[in-house]
């Protein structure tokens, strides 16, 4: 950890002040800047200091100033959260909880409060696979801890809520172009205009890069590249009562280093297609109440082509197709000046859950052609009661039925305002997840394939947390001490004797840890740093469970170099994660704007010191490490017509 400490010390000591985009933050009061609004921690939106859980907020101004490209880049600096990648997908481990074969199934991903995890893998798409361009994001909220009492399945370890930009009364338009190393070429455009007594937002983006050169020692082959291309689009119309949104994405990524495949063969690829539709209506009810009715539908398609290194060389194809739709209704009830509650119901129909696997060449052969369907129903209540000037009680309960299984998920949080600026919070919560269609039904024949497990069952987590929020003047600090206990988590296990994989329920896993965050603000300046420590206690041998860093830290600093120029630095540090040694990375961005602040030119470098670092690999036995990206320069030109 010496390099970690050195990198953070240099960053913090070298930053006399921290400046976000000055024009955007000049309109915010100091209180609003340090106590950002959050909407994902509860069905009852409020300030971060009143949240029943620990919440980290990353704003649009921070994303822009740091030149962040993907949602995974945004989440890397969040306390208690570790992001890794296998070159095709990004994975999140939360508060010491990590296991092999996990496609972010225990992390719930929301866009404006709406679930977008698919119905095949239940995955939260965080990297280049995330189906929304970051230029449309107003802020990203990460809510740590179980939240099944609010959102049901998948919210075991945390919730990521991406809040999109709201419409402007006078209209806006924006375009951007970004060029970088490894053949990176990104472009985006969006338009916000008035239509039929509402606001219409249209957006489209394109990303492409050739990928960095890869030469992994265990493959023993020459270097190759992992290229990626992505297209996203969004259409949204909204007025005071109605909102309809359609979001689509198509991504293709080369997978040249997958296990058991021919290294570097250009036919190795993954393709992800997403289509998400939301229709929402809000209406006032009674004295200060509100009724919300929502309909939603989603479609996910996956294609994976793999050139298997077998005699003879064989082209194998994986397909997955998921369709779902559902309804939600909720009622917000003002029960007094100091008491609010929400009751609601959510129903989702798993219309299609299809998986197939077959050889295409040299001889066609089908191994799997499976199709199923199902449904899930949830009833929930969320209550916020200000007991006195110093005490607030927040409770929640949700009842879910899925795959013929019933679950009750409670949450209770008690807040104590001990003194002006000081708030203590004690929280207990439980969460659940049933095995998804992939875990329950995917299987095949032969070496390297998956073996079905008919005894697979659901998993559960219960968590306790003590939190502290403090703010005074220019300063804000937050700290948490937590303890989690997980039972029956599913883990992908490799059986060397049979040369096959199988998803199994493991025993009990316990984690405990401490987290701290510090912010400082003055006028248009701001500073943020975080430090996390976790410890794993396990009654069984967990494959990949040691892939979470015991210590992690991050710091962000930005300051003005003149009236229209800013410099931003970011330091990220991790201790050892399994076989991956600890590392420290520094990213830098310099931005200049014209006097009207509608043009912005940014220059950036990621991994400025060109450190050699690794993420934990997809298989602790067969591929324990994945090489991280080296130094990469980029430049971006952006124009936005301000209202």
What percent of the chain lies above the pLDDT cut of 90?
A: 60
Average pLDDT over residues 117-142: 94
- pLDDT for residue 28: 41
- pLDDT for residue 547: 78
pLDDT single digits (tens) 325-378: 999 999 999 988 889 999 999 999 999 999 999 999 999 999 999 999 999 999
pLDDT single digits (tens) 63-81: 998 999 999 999 999 999 9
Entry pTM: 0.91
Provide the 3-class DSSP secondary structure of residue 499.
Answer: coil
State how beta strands 450-451 and 500-505 pair: parallel
Query: Does residue 533 carry a pLDDT above 60?
Result: yes
Query: Does residue 1 carry a pLDDT above 50?
Result: no
- pLDDT for residue 13: 35
Query: Does residue 519 carry a pLDDT above 80?
Result: yes
Tokens, residue 399: 């009842």
More confident of the two residues 42 and 186: 186
Query: Does residue 286 carry a pLDDT above 90?
Result: no
* DSSP secondary structure code for residue 310 in this structure: S
Average pLDDT over residues 565-584: 93
Buried b (16+ CB within 10 A) or exposed e, 148-177: bbbbbbbbbbbbbbbbbbebeeeebebebe
pLDDT tier, 309 (very low <50, low <70, confident <90, very high otherwise): confident
- The torsion of the CA quartet 11, 15, 21, 23, rounded to 10 degrees, works out to 170
**Average confidence score pLDDT of the chain:** 86
- pLDDT for residue 643: 58
- pLDDT for residue 545: 62
Query: Does residue 611 carry a pLDDT above 60?
Result: yes
- The sign of the torsion formed by the CA atoms of 118, 121, 122, 125 equals negative
Query: Does residue 409 carry a pLDDT above 90?
Result: yes
Give the start-to-end residue ranges of the domains of the chain.
Answer: 2-641
Query: Does residue 223 carry a pLDDT above 80?
Result: no
- The torsion of the CA quartet 357, 360, 365, 368, rounded to 10 degrees, works out to 10
Query: Does residue 172 carry a pLDDT above 80?
Result: yes
More confident of the two residues 101 and 201: 201
pLDDT tier, 149 (very low <50, low <70, confident <90, very high otherwise): confident
CB 266 within 8 A of CB 281: no
Query: Does residue 224 carry a pLDDT above 50?
Result: yes
- pLDDT for residue 606: 96
More confident of the two residues 643 and 21: 643
Query: Does residue 253 carry a pLDDT above 70?
Result: yes
- pLDDT for residue 559: 86
Domain 2-641 listed as CATH 2.40.170.20: yes
- The sign of the torsion formed by the CA atoms of 123, 124, 125, 131 equals positive
pLDDT tier, 217 (very low <50, low <70, confident <90, very high otherwise): low
- pLDDT for residue 218: 52
More confident of the two residues 387 and 526: 387
- pLDDT for residue 46: 67
Tokens, residue 602: 């940014």
CB 163 within 8 A of CB 140: yes
- pLDDT for residue 24: 38
Write the DSSP string, 212-244.
-EE--TTTTS--EE--EEEEEEEEEEE-SSEEE
Name, in order, each residue with C-beta under 8 angstroms of 104's C-beta and a sequence gap of 6 or more. Answer: 91, 92, 123, 124, 125, 126
Tokens, residue 280: 């929402």
Which of 558-567, 584-593, 611-620: highest mean pLDDT?
Answer: 584-593
- pLDDT for residue 462: 93
- pLDDT for residue 33: 47
Return the H-helix or E-strand segment holding 439: helix 437-441
CB 376 within 8 A of CB 152: yes
- pLDDT for residue 48: 67
Query: Does residue 397 carry a pLDDT above 90?
Result: yes
- pLDDT for residue 213: 72
Query: Does residue 42 carry a pLDDT above 70?
Result: no
- pLDDT for residue 37: 63
Least confident of 23-27, 199-203, 273-277, 421-425: 23-27
CB 38 within 8 A of CB 123: no
**Largest Cα–Cα separation, the chain:** 74
Query: Does residue 183 carry a pLDDT above 80?
Result: yes
């Amino acid at each position: 950890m010496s390099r970690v400490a050195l990198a953070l010390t240099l960053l913090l000591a070298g930053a006399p002040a921290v400046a976000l985009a000055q024009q955007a933050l000049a309109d915010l009061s100091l209180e609003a800047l340090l106590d950002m609004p959050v909407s994902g921690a509860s069905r009852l939106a409020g300030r971060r200091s009143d949240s029943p859980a620990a919440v980290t907020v990353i704003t649009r101004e921070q994303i822009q100033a740091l030149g962040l490209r993907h949602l995974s880049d945004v989440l890397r600096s969040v306390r208690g959260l570790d992001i890794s990648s296998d070159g095709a997908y990004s994975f999140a481990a939360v508060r010491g909880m990590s296991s092999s074969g996990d496609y972010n199934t225990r992390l719930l991903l929301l866009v404006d409060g709406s679930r977008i995890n698919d119905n095949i893998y239940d995955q939260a798409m965080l990297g280049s696979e995330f189906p929304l361009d970051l230029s449309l994001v107003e802020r990203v909220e990460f809510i740590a801890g179980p939240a099944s009492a609010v959102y049901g399945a998948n919210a075991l370890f945390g919730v990521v809520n991406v809040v999109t930009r709201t419409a402007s009364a006078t209209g806006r338009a924006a375009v951007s172009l970004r060029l970088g190393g490894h053949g990176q070429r990104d472009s985006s455009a969006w338009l916000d205009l008035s239509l039929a007594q509402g606001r219409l937002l249209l957006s489209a983006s394109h990303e492409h890069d050739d990928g960095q050169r890869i030469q992994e020692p265990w493959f023993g082959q020459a270097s190759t590249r992992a290229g990626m291309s992505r297209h996203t689009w969004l259409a949204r119309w909204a007025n005071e009562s109605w909102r309809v949104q359609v979001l689509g994405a198509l991504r293709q990524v080369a997978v040249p280093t997958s296990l058991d495949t021919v290294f570097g063969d250009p036919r190795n690829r993954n393709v992800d297609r997403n289509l998400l539709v939301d229709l929402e209506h809000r209406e006032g009810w009674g004295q200060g109440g509100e009724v919300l009715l929502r309909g939603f539908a989603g479609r996910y398609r996956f294609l994976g082509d793999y050139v298997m290194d077998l005699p003879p060389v064989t082209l194998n194809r994986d397909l997955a197709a998921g369709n779902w739709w559902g309804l939600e209704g909720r009622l917000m009830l003002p029960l007094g000046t100091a008491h609010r509650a929400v009751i609601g119901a959510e129903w989702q129909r798993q219309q299609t859950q299809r998986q197939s696997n077959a050889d295409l060449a040299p001889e066609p052969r089908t191994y799997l052609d499976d199709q199923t369907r199902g449904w899930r129903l949830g009833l929930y209540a969320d209550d916020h009661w200000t007991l006195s000037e110093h005490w607030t009680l927040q409770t929640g309960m949700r009842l879910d039925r899925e795959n013929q299984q019933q679950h009750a998920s409670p949450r209770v949080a008690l807040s104590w305002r001990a003194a002006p600026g000081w708030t203590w919070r004690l929280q207990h919560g439980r969460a659940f997840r049933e095995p998804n269609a992939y875990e329950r039904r995917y299987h095949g024949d032969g070496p390297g394939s998956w073996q079905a497990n008919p005894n697979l069952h659901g998993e559960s987590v219960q968590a306790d947390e003590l939190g502290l929020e403090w703010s005074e003047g220019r300063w804000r600090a937050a700290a948490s001490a937590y303890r989690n206990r997980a039972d029956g988590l599913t883990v992908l296990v490799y059986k060397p004797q049979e040369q096959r994989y199988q998803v199994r329920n493991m025993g009990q896993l316990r984690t405990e840890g401490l987290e701290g965050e510090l912010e400082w603000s003055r006028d248009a300046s701001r500073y943020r740093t975080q430090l996390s420590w976790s410890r794993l206690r396990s009654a069984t041998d967990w494959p990949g469970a040691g892939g979470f860093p015991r210590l992690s830290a991050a710091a962000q600093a930005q300051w003005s170099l003149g009236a229209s120029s800013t410099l931003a630095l970011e330091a990220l540090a991790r201790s050892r994660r399994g076989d991956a040694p600890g590392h420290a990375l520094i990213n830098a961005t310099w931005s200049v704007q014209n006097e009207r602040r509608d043009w912005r030119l940014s220059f950036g470098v990621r991994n400025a010191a060109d450190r050699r670092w690794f993420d934990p690999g997809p298989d602790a036995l067969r591929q324990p490490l994945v090489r991280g990206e080296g130094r990469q320069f980029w430049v971006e030109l952006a124009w936005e017509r301000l209202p």
